Amino acid sequence: MDLVRGSGLVPVKKKPKILHGSSSFYRYDVKFKEVVLFLVERKMGASRRNFLMELARRRGFQIESELRDCVTHIVAENNSRAEVVEWLKSKKLNDVIKYQIVDISWFTECMGAGCPIKIESRHQLMVQEDCPASFNTPVSSSCVRVSPYACQRRTPLRDINRIFTDAFDIMAENYEFWESKGPRVAYQRASAVLKSLPFPIVTMKDVEDLPHLREEMKYIIEEIIEDRKSSKVEEVRSSERYKSFKIFTSIFGVGLKTTEKWYRMGYRTLEDITSSNCLKFTSMQKHGLLYYEDIASYVTKKEADAVERLIKTIIWGFVSDAIVTVTGGFRRGKNIGHDVDILITCPQKRDEIQILHKTINSLKKMNLVLFHDIVESTFDDTKRPSRYVDSLDHFQKSFLILQLQKEEENTYIHKPNKSEAQRSWKAIRVDLVVTPYEQYAFAILGWTGSQQFERDLRRFASHEKKMMLDNHALYDKSKHLQCCELQMIVYEFLGIG
């Protein structure tokens, strides 16, 4: 990812200077030289830590990415003092007295005040006598406080409770196929909670105090603990309807309504669909069926990087200051995904208007476009915000199937294929989204995900802060739905303040 071009979640009015020889950080003036901060990554997560470090730099604080002698304050989140001290000693830093070891709440209040504040008792890390002090010792449910909001939880990339979350995801998917929103969302929330746990579920005591776990969900967990599977989940997984819906909805361009129609007509398998003489397909569905095997398979990080380089090369050829950022799971650190989502913006509005069409035309000239569909922007600033803010946005976007060529060494390059019969290329699903520069901060947050994170982010903004959030802006209900200042992104919808 190009951190200089697209790392900031909060757009600034003036483009900051860039450190010569570095592409990682903006240059900000240090206002408080007597305070040097270090954030402990454990239980905070790398992405959240990077965001908070960037925020601190914007506020004029000096913050180090590594623990150095100059550090004065060590900030931790959801760690006990014993855990941090034990970690410091493991770094052969036995003189821990010289450090001020504080909770994230002190950092948050400093960011809100815009300057270092006095450390009070409430800012001291808790002493957790019943919890293991070692960073290498597994934690348990009694040591973990789980927020009901996914946007306030760290979720590791490796799901150590996958046997349970896979079961919940199947139940959520089945309810989605039945268009039962309430149960679907309930299972998705519960699954997200289990994915965030830093310990494996071994007994029912491990899930006693967790939020969003209904009795039926605990019953499924109990079954899996005892039998390694749930009868209810297995019944769903093996049902004809679930299997057919899963196949049909995985076809590019096929939604629930079309799937329901096909199922009612008696179709059950992909072969039933492709061999039918009665069905009429849209252009998107035809291409979805034509390249089904490629599109249904995973996109690797290497393939996503290749697509990103291609799109950047094309766009920077005619808009040199454009910001091009891969979002979705790849931006969150995942190694595989189902498609590649790329967000595009540029400071000059005149460049923004034609950037998508120029990009598609360039890809066509390279014979790399297998399918494309452009949806023009439907954003109307005069009609927003509405009473109900949904997860959909109104940006100009294009849904593509690109041909990605690969060399014998299995490295991907960008050139047209010589013969489709050789199949030396792979069809890759790519979404290009163009956002106005002033809405980029909200768009990149919305397109990065995960789905549950975004849903809880909006729920937190609405229920806890009386605000409305979508991919375009953040609105303050108490101010008659006027657009908030940009710093409200940090303090209100991320829940740092």
User: Residue with structure tokens 């006693």?
Assistant: 208
Alpha-carbon separation of residue 475 from 71, 305, 444, 497 (angstroms): 38, 35, 17, 17
The separation between the first and the last C-alpha atoms of the chain, rounded to the nearest angstrom, is 28
Alpha-carbon separation of residue 168 from 122, 162, 172 (angstroms): 38, 10, 6
The first and second tokens of residue 34, run together, are 């007597």
Say how far apart CA 271 and CA 277 lie, in whole Å: 12
Closest CA to 493 of 477, 468, 472: 468
Collapsed DSSP state (helix, strand, coil) of residue 191: helix
Q: Tell me the β-bridge partners of 432.
A: 342, 398
CB 442 within 8 A of CB 379: no
Helix (H) or strand (E) holding 234: helix 231-237
Q: Which residues contact 310 (CB under 8 A, 6 or more apart)?
A: 368, 414
Say how far apart CA 51 and CA 63 lie, in whole Å: 12
CB 467 within 8 A of CB 376: no
Q: Which amino acid would we find at residue 266? A: G
Say how far apart CA 459 and CA 414 lie, in whole Å: 42
Binding site as annotated, residues for Mg(2+): 339, 341, 431
The first and second tokens of residue 414, run together, are 């960008």
User: Residue with structure tokens 């697209």?
Assistant: 6
Say how far apart CA 183 and CA 217 lie, in whole Å: 11
CB 217 within 8 A of CB 187: yes
Where in the sequence numbering do the catalytic residues fall?
Answer: 339, 341, 431
CB 409 within 8 A of CB 393: no
Count CA within 13 A, CB hemisphere, residue 179.
5
Helix (H) or strand (E) holding 196: helix 181-196
Say how far apart CA 321 and CA 315 lie, in whole Å: 9
Q: Which residues contact 2 (CB under 8 A, 6 or more apart)?
A: 23, 312, 323, 324, 325
Say how far apart CA 427 and CA 340 lie, in whole Å: 12
Binding site as annotated, residues: 339, 341, 431
CB 327 within 8 A of CB 343: yes
Say how far apart CA 392 and CA 473 lie, in whole Å: 13
Count CA within 13 A, CB hemisphere, residue 322.
28
